[in-house]
Structure 1
Amino acid sequence: MITPGEIKKKAISRWNQGKVLRSWLGAELIFPLVLPAGKPTASQLLKDFAQVRSWKSMLESHALCHVGHGYRIEYTEINHRQFGRQRLPKFVIFDSVDDLAKFIGKHGDIKRFANILKLIRQQQPGLCRWVERYPLKTLAQASNWPRLLIILDYFKTHPCYGRYLRELDIPDVDTKFIEQHKGLIKELLDIVLPTDAIDRTVIGLSRFGFERRYGLKYDEPLIRFRFLDAELAKHYGGLDDLSLPLSQFHKLNPNCTHVFITENKINGLSFPAQPQSMVIFGLGYGISMLKQASWFAQKELFYWGDIDTHGFAILSQLRGYFPHTQSLLMDQETLQRFRPLWVSEGPDQRVTTGLTAL
């Protein structure tokens, strides 16, 4: 036999699933919402009819007919051999969104949601389908929607290419707000911006993904490298240890024949002199930053990493970009030669998937 508390839990569950707001939008029909009241057992009717009557009275005291909102009760009639004809609750029914929302104290949220929707329909109607899909996310940002809509309009009407995020002069919006809400703003910009304003090859927000996706400038990571041949360094003022912003490194294409990449910074700093060679170091899994260095395709490319699953994972990743990559000092002979230096790699530290290019 269902209690008012259990009815409330079920109603809150529908709310938390977004079903109530989607129903209010007309995107999902769940009303009237019918919940079984729970038929008393024959034993309960026979042995404790007073408890059954108390349950019925409790349900009725919280029902629409008594408190002016919430659920109504649908009854069924039974013939009790001892107490005669009795009307017992069969279903509790919420007829509308308002009935359920008032019952769980969410009527104010319905009003806020309606105001948000009105604003979105007026300023960015293309977001209405997103609102239908994510009504609770929409509601959670109630106080932020005026700023969100200003941001979306700004990106649509002002070219942002080649500008830093902090340079954008958006009325009534602190650019820190954008930095704090990049994930949400990315979802919305992907809907309202034209296709040619989005670099869809950039996935996620890591490594300035937001800025790269929408053509903004950002504080680029530096690629550090050393020329291992003094003749090469002469072309750069004799400097042999350099760091360049990523986009400049992609355009570098030095006149060398061999490019060594090593995971370990000290390996890079102590790498011996080699003719017509350079060494890049200290990137680790940041190796993905090198994939747009198209000039690598014309060089002999070597990777020197740790002889563990992570080292081979990075080698596999690099070969995914440049299949001609050769490994350096990552073979069985090297492993056996330095057996006294072996350490154990715990099972929870191993990389065992995605090694597709070894």
Structure 2
Amino acid sequence: MFDYIATTNELQILLADLSAASWVALDTEFIREKTYYPQLCLIQLATEKRLVCIDPLTINDLSPLWAWLQQPNLLKILHAGSQDLEIFYHLSGQVPTPVFDTQIAAAVLGLGDQLGYGRLVESLLGINLDKSQSRTDWAARPLRHEQLDYAIDDVRYLKQIYPILQQQLKALQRDQWVYKSFAKLTDPSTYTVDTRESWKRVKNNQLLKPQQLSVLRELAAWRESEALHKNLPKRWLLSDDILVDMARMRIQKLEDFKTIRGLKDETIQQAGAQWLKLIQTGLKLPASEWPQPTRRRTLDAELALLTDLLMVVVGQQALHYNISPQMLATRPQIEKMLIEQRTALSEDWRGSILNEVFEAILAGKKTLAVNQQKVLLQG
């Protein structure tokens, strides 16, 4: 059984009842098809004694809930929680902390990289979750009991999974590995939008020359700002293909926009003058301020050999910790690290396993040896 909280008074009573809780399992249901920000439609939570669905569409003031979630002595347990935390940050201006993400914990334990919640529940509890309500329109009201029961399963078993993962992490002495990843999840900068960097996420930007990228940066920043302001999906304003075409072409007057496929006359009349200014801004910037293409650099023969060596190290460490090599590091990740002249792979749990070893290998302080058909690290 679970409770359905739909009024401010019910929420206040609930939070008073949960005031002594030391942990809470959390999940949300949301839709994002027609908005820039996710529209929060349902909040599910579970404590030691309570299972609850909170309806944010019928409660006018959720600030008491945000304040409760901010308590530093209340551990928030989530699975693949970045989207949930993004929603909380957008609505409250703060990221709940501390957190425990069961997907990250499962990866550290070698159960699978980016393992889905259903597979994790099946693996640890032997329960197959009902998937019949996965296409629910969570913004529709009223929600049927079977829909709410489907939603509450996301925390019903999450609170059972947490102690199992926590115990296994401690038994393998890997509980320290997850903290950097958890800290990144609760860093507000993770969810802060930098409009000036949005050009990097435009599809096919690597096809443009540096000055064209300068134009793209201005146009992409405008699109991002407009989407934020109007709370609309970016693609509804301008598609990536249109942005790239605008940046590639030498557009000098409004009529030039009409040659771009998919760009409507009405849109040109509304924003064309602004686009022209942005294009001129991008073109007039000095070459020293142009963005550089994000094309993949190639390795020379020596770095290619070094990549081979480090991939052996990855395999050796993966075998040692009983974790899939693909979960630790891929060849492109190591190539990127070497090209950028770094010795550390990452700042998350993977770095806890590989960074010191990589640094020692690259500094010549450790070597690989073979003994009885086993690869060993020496030094």
Q: TM-score, normalised by structure 2?
A: 0.21
Greater Cα radius of gyration, structure 1 or 2: 1
Q: TM-score, normalised by structure 1?
A: 0.22
